[in-house]
Amino acid sequence: MEYFLQQLINGLALGSIYGLVAIGYTMVYGIIGMINFAHGDIFMVGAFIALIAFLILIAIGITAVPLALFLVLLIAMLLTSLYGWAVERIAYRPLRGSFRLAPLISAIGMSIVLQNYVQLAQGARVKTLPPLITGVHTLLDLGNRFVVQISNIQILIIVTTFALMTGFSWLVSSTSLGRDMRACEQDLKMAALLGVDTNRTISLTFLIGAALASVAGIMYLLYYGVIDFHIGFVAGVKAFTAAVLGGIGSLPGAMLGGLLIGLIETYWSAYFSVQYKDVAAFSILIIVLIFMPTGILGRPEVEKV
């Protein structure tokens, strides 16, 4: 039981990272009905920007961890948002009226460009960051049997993720931008006819999704301390799987799917062979889609006539 609780904590931390990335997938799909396959690489770019920002701040003498984290968060969210905006302007906006496969192919092309750009700029070797947030808290100690612990970085990841999820849910439900997003999700052409600036709304959606992905990149960097140019592909596939599992187009579904993928991976690695953790996650996805084609919290798509 103690081992189960420890893996629950580990799975929630990992699933929170997947959930933040999955929100970007589900936002873009909800508004324009297309999958942004470059989004995983935006996550990777955010992690590299955070690493560079940390190194620069340390070099100029800013070593206080709370201040450094705050500055890195601002820098990474701002610069990564620009990458998300560039993806929308280059890969999606010119092809929005084209056949549905064109933006998909373009997004895959942008993914390859971002991967190779980071590889050329930063090299193919892994980059490391020494642990900045240390310390653990014991939740359950049964002597010589097993100790259930939660680290400060796990607390930071879980709390930050749910705070951002709460704030973003408020933005979508209670602000004018959120109203525009919901209007575009229901009918993009009708929203434009009613005065909604659809280009601005879509661009801001990409910006917000990229900002959330950058936060996930920072958390990944702090949690594992190792990144390379290829992490965007792996995390992107997992986050896309999470979005589909939870119900693509649903924000709570994206977060739920991310948590489920994180828990499935963690428990499978703990009790079975770690080499097959990805097989387990994708197998659960297949089973869910067989019986629930729209995902756990997804809504059936109604064709507009």
Residue 79 within a domain: yes
Per-residue buried b or exposed e for 93-127, using 16+ beta carbons within 10 Å of the residue's own CB: bebeeeeeebbbebbeebbeebbeebeeeeeeeeb
Residue 247 within a domain: no
Q: What is the pLDDT of residue 110?
A: 92
CA dist., res. 281 & res. 288, Å (int)? 11
CA dist., res. 65 & res. 4, Å (int)? 32
Q: What is the pLDDT of residue 286?
A: 84
Residue 163 within a domain: yes
Q: What is the pLDDT of residue 222?
A: 94
Q: Which long-range contacts (CB under 8 A, 24 or more apart) does 144-150 make?
A: 145/2, 146/2, 146/3, 146/6, 147/2, 148/2, 148/5, 148/6, 148/9, 149/6, 149/9, 150/9
Residue 39 within a domain: yes
* Structural domain boundaries, residue 123: 15-135+143-230
Residue 184 within a domain: yes
AA letter at 164: L
**pLDDT, tens digit, 9 for 90 and up, residues 260-299:** 999 999 999 888 888 888 888 888 878 888 888 888 887 6
Alpha helix stretches (DSSP H) within the chain: 2-32, 39-59, 65-87, 101-122, 152-174, 176-186, 188-193, 198-224, 231-246, 251-271, 277-291
Q: What is the pLDDT of residue 159?
A: 93
N-term to C-term CA, the chain: 54
Q: What is the pLDDT of residue 263?
A: 92
Reference 154, options 5, 10, 270, 8; nearest CA is: 10
Q: What is the pLDDT of residue 301?
A: 60
Residue 168 within a domain: yes
List beta partners, residue 150.
Answer: 137
Residue 125 within a domain: yes
| Residue 291, CA distances (Å) to 53, 159, 245, 253 in order | 46, 33, 12, 16
**pLDDT, tens digit, 9 for 90 and up, residues 215-252:** 999 999 999 999 999 999 888 888 888 988 888 878 88
Number of domains in the chain: 1
Q: Which residues of the chain have pLDDT under 70?
A: 143-144, 299-305
Residue 81 within a domain: yes
Q: What is the pLDDT of residue 67?
A: 92
